[in-house]
Amino acid sequence: MHFALKDCGVAAQVVVAVDINTTANQIYQHNFPCTPLWSKSIEGIPLEDFNKLSIDAILMSPPCQPFTRLGLKRDVVDQRTKSFLYVLDLLPKLSSPPRYILLENVKGFEESCARNQLVKILTECGYHFKEMMVSPTSVGIPNSRLRYYLMARRSEEGLSADTHSKTGDGPECAQFLYKLETRAEQQRKQQQNSDQSITQIQDFLDPDVDLNLEQYLLLPKTLLRYAPILDIVHPTSRRSICFTKGYGRYVEGTGSVLQSSTEAETESVFRGLEEHSEEERLRRLQTLQLRYFTPREVANLMGFPQGFAFPDDVPVKQRYKVLGNSLNVVVVSKLLRILLSEEHLGR
């Protein structure tokens, strides 16, 4: 959120950042050492302290677990929603409510009771707001991370936003289906890779020639067990799936892997793979040189600037975890530009 605010072109000062995750706070402080950082839960901050801040804007990303498609979807009953509900309770009580609010959450939040409570409070407090679902692909980044966003403004003027999802017809589906994917999934990937408005993966790869990439290669046991369900992309691809906090530890649905070899053909390797011995299957799979994206590369795909850095003592596993819990900086920056700029006011 802070990097997005810096990039949006509107002069602003972050008066305080609040989070309870110690690793996230360590990384935040490393990048923004002069910004006050409160390592506490939101509900532990009394109304008086909020009033002292005299804030003009709240940028927030409440815990998403109560709303994720793979979770229990306990919504407002989930204890992790308490902090968000506390903010909603405080909003009408503030001596000077913020003029701007931007909220980010996962797909699924838009159907929640928490969202309904949010909209009710915003309406009662005189906010105009817009809700939308946006993925980084809409701003040319080859990564799918569809998220719910709400922009709200206290004003007699409403908001106008020119944000839309793009669809289009792609090339016809190839006749040969490899791996455990449907024809529709293969066609969708081909459409994404043919979209010239999206930048290729290679522009987001780490240029450090001294970087030891062998540590990111998939282990033999991972290749043998999960090869059919891997989402494999190439440097020339214009797509990748959402990176989650389990990337690097788990395989299914946690993010794409990169084929480093430019000589091996993915389809040729997978064709009839199960007919071979385990030793031969491993040999063929290893010719692809499949590896995880490095944390820096994941950060690049999530729009973090080159100035962003991890403290040296943060392990790779934790880097993946905080990135998986983060958001796309470029998307949020563009939304903040709309929210905070007077030229985007509209009735």
What pLDDT is stored for residue 344 in this prediction?
A: 53
What pLDDT is stored for residue 159 in this prediction?
A: 65
Q: Are 254 and 243 in contact (CB under 8 A)?
A: yes
**Alpha carbon distance 231, 243 (integer Å):** 11
Q: Which of 237, 220, 241, 186 is nearest to 289 (CA)?
A: 220
Q: Are 124 and 92 in contact (CB under 8 A)?
A: yes
- CB proximity list for 110: less than 8 A, separation 6 or greater: 131, 133, 148
Q: Is 236 helix (H, G, I), strand (E, B) or coil?
A: coil
Q: Are 4 and 329 in contact (CB under 8 A)?
A: yes
The predicted-structure confidence for 218-227, as pLDDT tens digits, reads as follows 999 999 999 9
What pLDDT is stored for residue 98 in this prediction?
A: 95
248 CB burial (10 A radius; 0-12, 13-18, 19+): buried
Residue 14 tokens read as: 């972050």
Task: Give the position of tokens 């923004």.
Answer: 32
**Alpha carbon distance 326, 337 (integer Å):** 19
What pLDDT is stored for residue 171 in this prediction?
A: 28
**Alpha carbon distance 339, 124 (integer Å):** 20
Residue 341 tokens read as: 């700029």
What pLDDT is stored for residue 75 in this prediction?
A: 72
What pLDDT is stored for residue 63 in this prediction?
A: 78
Cα angle 281, 286, 288 (rounded to 5 degrees) comes to: 115
**Alpha carbon distance 230, 19 (integer Å):** 33
Residues in the chain with pLDDT values less than 50: 161-179, 345-347
Question: With DSSP H G I counted as helix, E B as strand and the rest as coil, what are the percentages for the chain, rounded to 5?
Answer: 40, 15, 45
Question: What are 134's strand-pairing partners?
Answer: 147
**Element spanning 337, H or E:** helix 329-340
Residue 224 tokens read as: 């043998």
User: What secondary structure letter does DSSP report for 71?
Assistant: S
**Element spanning 290, H or E:** strand 290-292
The alpha carbon of 271 is separated from its chain's Cα centroid by a whole number of angstroms, namely: 33
**Alpha carbon distance 297, 304 (integer Å):** 10
What pLDDT is stored for residue 73 in this prediction?
A: 66
The predicted-structure confidence for 48-58, as pLDDT tens digits, reads as follows 999 999 999 99
The alpha carbon of 138 is separated from its chain's Cα centroid by a whole number of angstroms, namely: 13
Task: Give the position of tokens 């979807």.
Answer: 73
Question: What are 132's strand-pairing partners?
Answer: 149
Q: Which of 141, 76, 71, 152 is nearest to 106 (CA)?
A: 71
What pLDDT is stored for residue 177 in this prediction?
A: 38
Residue 146 tokens read as: 């569809």
What pLDDT is stored for residue 209 in this prediction?
A: 73
Catalytic site residues? 64
Q: Are 225 and 180 in contact (CB under 8 A)?
A: no
**Alpha carbon distance 134, 162 (integer Å):** 11
The predicted-structure confidence for 4-27, as pLDDT tens digits, reads as follows 999 999 999 999 999 999 999 999
Task: Give me the sheet containing 257-259, strands edge to edge.
Answer: 232-233, 257-259, 290-292
What pLDDT is stored for residue 150 in this prediction?
A: 95
Q: Is 146 helix (H, G, I), strand (E, B) or coil?
A: coil
